[in-house]
């Protein structure tokens, strides 16, 4: 492909709103172009790169026994109402009314549609297992799209769905997808860590994310220092240290004028924060609830959402707190009636806490659970942090930032129950099909690969995903010998099966070299008067500084060798 006939321009300066290196380089190199907030057009270079990634994904999914399908992006809202997600999916569904007055949605994911597809085609255990996948456009109306392709509203995604007759069969399907994902990321040049994760709006039980560690990532993961456990901050379990044992004492009210915070309370009484009980107010729908957690811990709102059945809580407003007759800074669950009480299990790891007295300027000491207040729900709703103890081997957590590039779930029968997607077993008895879900961000991987493969001059793309394998630059294009040699080499490399971007533009050498580095193609080939005077051309790997000179006749074999072919 001749660059003089190509579409797209390189830029010397990054857009002012590009806050990550992948966003900056992909725009500057002419791979993508923003159309609206969180919406990007792929130019030819970017589309070729995304297609390379998609081809690798297809090869690995097919090798794992999955079958490719295609499902509509536009779906009737009624199937989302049937699944119960129409009003709870985060971010809220993008909806519109078609000309027939039917409510429609722009799909962020396809669990509902694929369950209906399988329901219509699976009757017996003999039809199982099956794994269906697609590479499809999705839309999620993100409130704050950012970081170029790393957090968009419209994006390309590979989603797969397994259907099994038993938990044992689901485990096998899950393991196949786990290995397929590892193969995909390895082939694309991405080193990822696998961490436990929350299933979010998809639902399900076992769930793991594939995280590309990068400072630009918006996900925070906790990794055990011993290297055998990792989890997303939303999911991470940890060992909560118990307070020293004490005999429970009688409650007593104490004056604490002006004290409104846990830190202020601990300081004024000369106690540690783990000897206090923190009360946090949340609103769920129209209901105000009170959450109690040990004062040295913070509430994990994802865990809280899960124990509340998937409904998102939000901090209560001052007006809502007042209507519930709660006292900010001096509240607790002691003696409260008609207000749902959620208690973190840290309150069972100690005695004689100090809690609010539900009276302005007063607290109560020697509060004990469950003697002095109740829990409608007792669960782990605390956030882990760096330095906490790993529950698997006692190591300490370290914190890292990363980019989620893949996510797999064991859904169970959540959707098959809702849509009556059943199968008959060997005895003719009906059972719900057991499902798994496997998502992979294709366009996000484009950004993730650039985050992992770049230097000060531009992208350094792995050969497997680079839009072209070879950047061929002809210098001194008015020299007939240079022109003929470069044209002939272009044709010869193409016949040899190599993808070549041929820079035949009438530009200065410095411009061509800068563009070659910026675009990030693995091998740069230069044909110049100086080199040809010695019967040679110049070869250089994008990731190395050294230049190699070879004869024109040896060029194809030398380039193949540099590419590992």
CA nearest to 350, candidates 249, 275, 291: 275
Quote the tokens at residue 224.
């055990």
User: Domain extents for the chain?
Assistant: 19-237+398-451, 252-379, 468-562
DSSP 244: P
φ, ψ for residue 343, nearest 5 deg: -125, 130
Whether the Cβ atoms of residue 307 and residue 377 lie closer than 8 Å to each other: yes
Count other Cβ atoms within 10 Å, centred on residue 5: 9
Give 337's contacts (C-beta < 8 A, 6+ positions apart): none
Give CA–CA dist 218/118, Å, rounded: 35
Q: Among all chains, which residue has been given the structure tokens 């196949």?
A: 176
Q: Which two tokens stand for residue 116?
A: 């209906």
Burial class (CB in 10 A: 0-12, 13-18, 19+), 96: exposed
- Report how far residue 138's alpha carbon sits from residue 93's, in angstroms, rounded to the nearest whole number: 11
Using 50 as the pLDDT threshold, list the residues of the chain that sit under it.
Answer: none
Describe the chain by its helix, strand, coil percentages, rounded to 5.
30, 30, 40
What is the predicted pLDDT for the residue at 199? 65
Residues with Cβ within 8 Å of 276's Cβ and at least 6 positions away in sequence, in order, are 262, 265, 266, 294, 295, 296, 353, 354, 355
Closest CA relative to residue 192, chosen from 147, 223, 146 = 223
- pLDDT score, position 217: 86
Q: Within its chain, how far is the Cα of 10 from the centroid?
A: 29
Q: Please, which residues have CB within 8 angstroms of residue 105's CB and are 6 or more apart in sequence?
A: 74, 75, 76, 77, 80, 86, 93, 94, 95, 96
Residues 289-326: b if buried by 16+ CB within 10 A, e if exposed: bbbbbbbbbebbbbbbbbebeeeebeebeeebbeebeb
The rounded distance, in Å, linking the Cα atoms of 187 and 444 is 16
pLDDT at position 200 is 60
- Decide: 168 and 176 in contact? Cβ < 8 Å: no
Question: Where does residue 337 fall: left (phi above 0), alpha (psi -120 to 50 degrees), or beta otherwise?
Answer: beta
DSSP code of 323?
Answer: H
Token pair recorded at residue 80? 């989302």
Is the separation of the CB atoms in 310 and 88 below 8 Å? yes
Residues in the chain: 565
Query: Three-state DSSP class for 324?
Result: coil
The CATH number of 468-562, from 3.40.50.1860, 3.40.50.450, 3.40.50.800, 3.40.50.2300, is 3.40.50.800
Q: Which CATH class is domain 19-237+398-451?
A: alpha beta
Q: What angle do CA 318, 319, 323 make, to 5 degrees?
A: 120
Residue 499: how many CB atoms within 10 A of its CB? 16
Burial class of 423 by CB neighbour count within 10 A (0 to 12, 13 to 18, 19+): buried
CATH topology (fold) of 252-379: YbaK protein (3.90.960)
List all residues 6 or more positions away from 270 whose beta carbon is below 8 Å from its beta carbon: none
d(CA 7, CA 44): 7
Nearest to 151 by CA among 541, 443, 498: 443
The percent of residues above 70 in pLDDT, for the chain, comes to 99
Q: Which two tokens stand for residue 519?
A: 């675009």
Q: Which own/partner pairs from 13-20 qualify as long-range (CB within 8 Å, at least 24 positions apart)?
A: 18/148, 19/146, 19/147, 20/147, 20/148, 20/150, 20/216, 20/447, 20/451
The torsion angle over the Cα atoms of residues 451, 455, 461 and 467, rounded to 10 degrees, is 100
Looking at residue 15, its pLDDT comes to: 85
513 vs 505: CA distance, rounded Å? 12
CA distance 12 to 3: 18
Residue that has been written with the tokens 């009480």 in this structure: 341
Q: What is the pLDDT of residues 152-189, one digit of tens each?
A: 999 999 999 999 999 999 999 999 999 999 999 999 99
């Amino acid at each position: 492909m001749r660059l003089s006939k190509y579409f797209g321009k390189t830029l010397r300066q990054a857009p002012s709103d590009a806050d990550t290196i992948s966003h900056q380089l992909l725009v500057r190199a002419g791979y993508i172009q923003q159309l609206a907030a969180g919406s990007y057009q792929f130019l030819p270079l970017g589309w070729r790169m995304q297609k390379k990634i998609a081809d690798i994904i297809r090869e690995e999914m097919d090798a794992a026994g999955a079958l490719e399908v295609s499902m509509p992006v536009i779906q009737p809202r009624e199937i989302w109402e049937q699944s119960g997600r129409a009003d709870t999916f985060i971010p809220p569904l993008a909806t519109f009314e078609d000309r027939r007055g039917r409510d429609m949605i722009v799909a962020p994911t396809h669990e509902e549609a694929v369950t209906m597809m399988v329901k219509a085609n699976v009757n017996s255990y003999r039809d199982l297992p099956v794994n269906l996948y697609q590479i499809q456009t999705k839309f999620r109306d993100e409130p704050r799209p950012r970081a170029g392709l790393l957090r968009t509203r419209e994006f390309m995604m590979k989603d797969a769905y397994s259907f099994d007759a038993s938990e044992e069969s689901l485990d096998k399907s899950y393991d196949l997808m786990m290995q397929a994902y590892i193969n995909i990321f390895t082939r694309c040049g991405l080193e990822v860590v696998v961490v436990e994760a929350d299933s979010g709006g998809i639902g399900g039980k076992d769930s793991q994310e594939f995280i590309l560690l990068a400072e630009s990532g918006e996900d925070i993961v906790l990794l055990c220092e011993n290297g055998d456990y990792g989890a997303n901050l939303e999911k991470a379990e940890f060992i909560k240290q118990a307070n020293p044992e004490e005999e429970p004492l009688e409650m007593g009210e104490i004056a604490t004028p002006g004290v409104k915070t846990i830190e202020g309370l601990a300081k004024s009484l000369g106690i540690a924060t783990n000897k206090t009980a923190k009360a946090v107010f949340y609103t769920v729908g129209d209901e105000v609830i009170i959450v109690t957690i040990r004062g040295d811990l913070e509430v994990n709102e994802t865990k809280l959402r899960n124990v509340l059945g998937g409904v998102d809580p939000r901090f209560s407003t001052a007006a809502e707190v007042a209507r519930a007759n709660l006292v900010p800074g001096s509240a607790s669950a002691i003696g409260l009636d008609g207000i749902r009480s959620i208690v973190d299990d840290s309150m069972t790891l100690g005695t004689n806490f100090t809690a609010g007295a539900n009276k302005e300027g007063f607290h109560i000491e020697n509060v004990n659970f469950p003697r002095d207040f109740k829990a409608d729900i007792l669960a782990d709703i605390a956030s882990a942090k760096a330095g906490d103890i790993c529950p698997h081997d006692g190591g300490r957590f370290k914190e890292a930032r990363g980019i989620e590039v893949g996510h797999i779930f064991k859904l169970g029968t959540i959707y098959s129950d809702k849509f009556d997607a059943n199968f008959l077993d060997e005895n003719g008895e009906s059972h719900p099909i057991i499902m798994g879900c496997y998502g992979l961000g294709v366009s996000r991987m484009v950004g993730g690969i650039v985050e992992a493969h770049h230097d000060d001059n531009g992208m350094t793309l792995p050969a497997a995903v680079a839009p072209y394998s070879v950047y061929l630059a002809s210098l001194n294009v008015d020299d007939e010998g240079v022109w003929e040699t470069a044209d002939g080499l272009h044709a010869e490399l193409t016949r040899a099966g190599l993808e070549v971007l041929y820079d035949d533009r009438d530009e200065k050498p410095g411009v061509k070299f800068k563009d070659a580095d910026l675009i990030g193609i693995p091998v740069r080939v230069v044909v110049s008067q100086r080199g040809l005077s010695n019967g040679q051309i110049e070869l250089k790997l994008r990731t190395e500084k050294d230049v190699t000179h070879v004869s024109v006749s040896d060029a194809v074999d030398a380039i193949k060798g540099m590419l590992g072919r």
